[in-house]
Structure 1
Amino acid sequence: MTKQFRIGVAEDEPDMREFYEIVIPELGHQLLWAARSGVGLLKNFEIERPDLLIVDVQMPFLGGLEAVRRLSCDTVPVIVVSGFHDQQTMAKVDAEQILAYLVKPIREADLKTSIMVVMHQFEEFQKLRQQDTITLATRRVMQLTHVSEQQAMHRLNQLMIKEKRTLVEVSETILGAIDYVDDGKTSHV
């Protein structure tokens, strides 16, 4: 059984929206919403955040890539869809670090494969990011308290247990506090 993902779509073409409305549930996923424009994507995203976005490049008022850029959110993976595959479009997509690019017309099998590959890549990326956060927090604790790496990790683990939070959450809190203190030191200079 594959994991079910909550998917948000931004597509201005009615036949493509209908395709997603039919195919996404058939693939075992939930279609949260299907916006008709980049503006609709932004509004829907604020209300209900999906696990994955499928976004058309060219839409009226606000294109898909610009909408994704405005989200300034790297916590949701994006599959970009376009009727074009010229160099200029590809360069725009590449600049946004999009994980998958599908050219219309889309086949159900291609969408299924892209969803699974993108979500797997994104989960691996998130694991690496979390490990980097823990490593950075450990180093900062070592620097500030002059303890060994093992002692710093022990302190993080103790805090994790005491606060009933994950190691990543504790690490993010510590890094945020250190950044806040560091910003306070430089803002009064």
Structure 2
Amino acid sequence: MIRSLRIAVADDERDMRDYFQAILPRLGHVVVAAASDGAELIAACRAATPDLIITDVKMPVMDGIEAARRIYEATPIPVILVSAHHDAEVLERAEQEHVLAFLVKPIKQADLEPAITVAMSRFEQFQALHKETADLRQALEDRKLIERAKGLLMKRTGLGEHDAFRRLQRLASDHNRKLVEVALMILTADEAFRIDA
């Protein structure tokens, strides 16, 4: 069972907005915004910060895919796209813009619940992968700084690689700092002494 979600919906048809506002609470969710076009959806998401967006594709002012793209740039929020028909161009655009599920009208409660579950599950997986990638990238950057600081210590003190690394570790421990912080301080200090060089 999926947790209760704060959901923003958008559709230019009042009947569809009313349908979502009636059916989503039955599934245990809260509708925090009901927009009639893409621009309204963007404003509503800024104000309400929903957990999920369910939006129609074709709407006046701005379509649902463009609105989803702009919202995602500011805050990653999973999107379920709704359309009266599915054509190749819409599906292609949807794939490029963080859309995690696609429903064709008329939408039944039996379709909505699994789409929400799949969209949220995929979103959580993507977020975990994104964090893991960012962590790995940061670890690599940290490693490069530590290696540069170790090389500098070897050059300045004549220590071997192992001893230079042990000195970095000791400095980090003595000053209750992370190894990368000590490496950065050493590299910064070296730059300060080489300003006129």
Task: Give the alignment's TM-score, normalised by structure 1.
Answer: 0.74
Identify the residue that residue 136 of structure 2 maps to in structure 1. 135
Cα deviation for residue 48 of structure 1 reads 1.2
Q: How does 1:8-47 map to 2 (within 5 A)?
A: 8-47=8-47
Cα 1:134/1:95, change in 2 over 3 Å: closer
Q: Does 1:114 align with 2:135?
A: no
Tell me the amino acid that sits aligned with residue 125 of structure 1.
Answer: F
Between the aligned partners of 2:103 and 2:74, the Cα distance in structure 1 is 21
- 1:163 aligns with none
Amino acid at match of 1:128: L
Q: How does 1:34-183 map to 2 (within 5 A)?
A: 34-71=34-71, 72-73=73-74, 75-146=76-147
Q: Please list every run of 5 or more consecutive structure 1 residues that lacks an aligned counterpart in the other structure.
A: 161-173, 175-189
Aligned 8 A contact 2:80 2:102 in 1: yes
Confirm or deny: 8 A CA contact 2:33 2:45 kept in the other structure: no
Q: CA deviation at 1:119?
A: 0.2
CA distance in structure 2 between the partners assigned to 1:42 and 1:20 by the alignment: 18
Q: 1:29-81: per-residue Cα shift (whole Å, max 9, x none)? A: 11111111111101111111111110100011111111122222461110000
User: Percent of aligned positions with the same letter in both sequences?
Assistant: 38
Secondary structure of the residue aligned to 2:102 is strand
Tell me the TM-score normalised to structure 2 length: 0.71
Take 1:74 and 1:131, find their aligned partners in 2: how far apart are those partners?
A: 18
Deviates more, 1:92-101 or 1:15-24: 92-101
Question: What is the count of residue pairs matched by the alignment?
Answer: 155
CA distance in 1, matches of 2:38, 2:122: 25
C-alpha distance in structure 2 between counterparts of 1:97 and 1:76, whole Å: 9
Deviations 1:120-170 (A, max 9, x none): 11111111111111111111111012278xx8xx99xx879xxxxxxxxxx
